[in-house]
Amino acid sequence: MNVRIYALLIAFMMLLPACSDPYFTMTGDAKMMIERDIRFLEMYEKSLCEIKKGREREELSRGKCLALYYDLKENERVENSREKVAKRVSYIVTNPDKFEKDDSIKVYNLTTKIGECDTYILQNCM
């Protein structure tokens, strides 16, 4: 009887992908952070966001807003390294071409990897 249960368990484990979708292998906290970031993206998908910057107010495109959001988040939380932020962004920014490409915003492909998946980060270069 125990042999059958053990065999079924092994068969079930063989069906699970190793790293096809790392989102589902992450902890609950990481999933919540990613879901929050996805909601952030959806909120700004069709609109412009405004960020008060010094003496003037600028309207920024979605890509710029996202980059500034993560840049500010990094500066506010010192313990959040660039790699940790990149791991969160990597699941969202799978198509960097969707973001505006200009001199102020660049998409960096970091050497950090999660399993087989490349990680990306948007960095504010203004």
The torsion angles phi and psi of 107, rounded to 5 degrees, stand at: -105, 125
Q: Which residues of 70-99 are buried (b: 16+ CB within 10 A; e: fewer)?
A: bbeebeeeeeeeeeebbbbbbbebeeeeeb
pLDDT tens per residue, the chain (126 residues)? 566 665 666 655 555 544 444 444 445 555 666 666 666 555 544 333 343 343 333 444 444 444 444 444 444 433 344 444 444 454 344 444 544 443 333 333 333 333 333 333 333 322
